[in-house]
Amino acid sequence: MKLYYHPASTTSRPLMMFIADNGVAAEMQIVDLFTGEHMGEAYAAVNPNRLVPVLEDGDFRLTESSAILKYLAEKIDSPTYPKDLRQRARVNEMMDWINTQLCRDLAYGTVYSQIFPFHKRPTEESQRITVAWGQERAKTWMKVLDEKLLGPDKLYLCGPELTIADYYGASFVHLAEVIGSDLSAYPNVKGWLDRMKGRSTWQKVYEAINGFANQLPKGQLATV
Ligand SMILES: N[C@@H](CCC(=O)N[C@@H](CS)C(=O)NCC(=O)O)C(=O)O
């Protein structure tokens, strides 16, 4: 198998960590987002969306990080993607929530618009409105995650056991810290993210994004 990815990519890191944790035999092919390699015709032939990640398994090619994570977990028969109908539905539910609610307002609305020049809006006014809209809604989702979806008793997003939803969610929630948010406002989220950070593969997988985060003008960014 081969994974096209970039370590600064939020949607690549859950796959990098799952692959590392499980010793999945996959060739790791960096697509350099910073030089625009993904915009070239060679990569467009791999993914017409010109986005990472992409998984190749023989002649089967798969885009969409959430679908790839499920495919990998199923392929290696991992307990992190339970077979029980309802347990699996919970994992799917959580991953959809992360990929739609949280991602839209936290990643795109609040974080990317502030830290990636190509996501910046064309005028000061439109930038201010975009960030304020994202920030307010992202705070709401973070509170829902903290108080309702996690709560004080849950070790992981879907219950007492680690699932692929945790790999997926950690990468998005960590973005809040990338822009300098203090997660102590969300103690259950903080406890859970710290649990994920305690995994032996975390540091290497998150090294690139943390290095990037260290260069950001913290304190000047809107946080959640
Ligand atoms: N829905 C896609 C989104 C993939 C995506 O947004 N990838 C970003 C990196 S996190 C990317 O390739 N960005 C390049 C660009 O926007 O030019 C997935 O989940 O795989």
- pLDDT by residue, tens only, the chain of 224 residues: 999 999 999 999 999 999 999 999 999 999 999 999 999 999 999 999 999 999 999 999 999 999 999 999 999 999 999 999 999 999 999 999 999 999 999 999 999 999 999 899 999 999 999 999 999 999 999 999 999 999 999 999 999 999 999 999 999 999 999 999 999 999 999 999 999 999 999 999 999 999 999 999 989 999 99
In a domain, 219, yes or no: no
In a shared domain, residues 121 and 54:
no
Output the residue whose Cα is nearest ligand 1's atom 17: 51
Output the residue whose Cα is nearest ligand 1's atom 14: 51
In a shared domain, residues 59 and 133:
no
Place of tokens 């992360």: 98
> Model-level pTM greater than 0.75?
yes
Per-residue pLDDT at 218: 84
Cβ of residue 64 lying under 6 Å from some atom of ligand 1: yes
Cβ of residue 52 lying under 6 Å from some atom of ligand 1: yes
Query: Which of 23, 46, 75 represents a domain boundary (last residue)?
Result: 75
Query: Which of 24, 46, 75 represents a domain boundary (last residue)?
Result: 75
Per-residue pLDDT at 72: 98
Residue 60, beta-bridge partner list = 57
d(CA 221, CA 224) in angstroms, rounded, equals 10
Do 55 and 3 meet the contact criterion of CB atoms below 8 Å apart?
A: yes
Output the residue whose Cα is nearest ligand 1's atom 10: 9
The number of domains in the chain is: 2
In a shared domain, residues 70 and 131:
no
Place of tokens 């017409």: 48
Cβ of residue 37 lying under 6 Å from some atom of ligand 1: no
**Where in the sequence is the domain holding 16, given as residue range(s)?**
2-75
Cβ neighbours, 10 Å, residue 83: 9
Query: Which of 30, 53, 75 represents a domain boundary (last residue)?
Result: 75
In a shared domain, residues 108 and 208:
yes
Cβ of residue 38 lying under 6 Å from some atom of ligand 1: yes
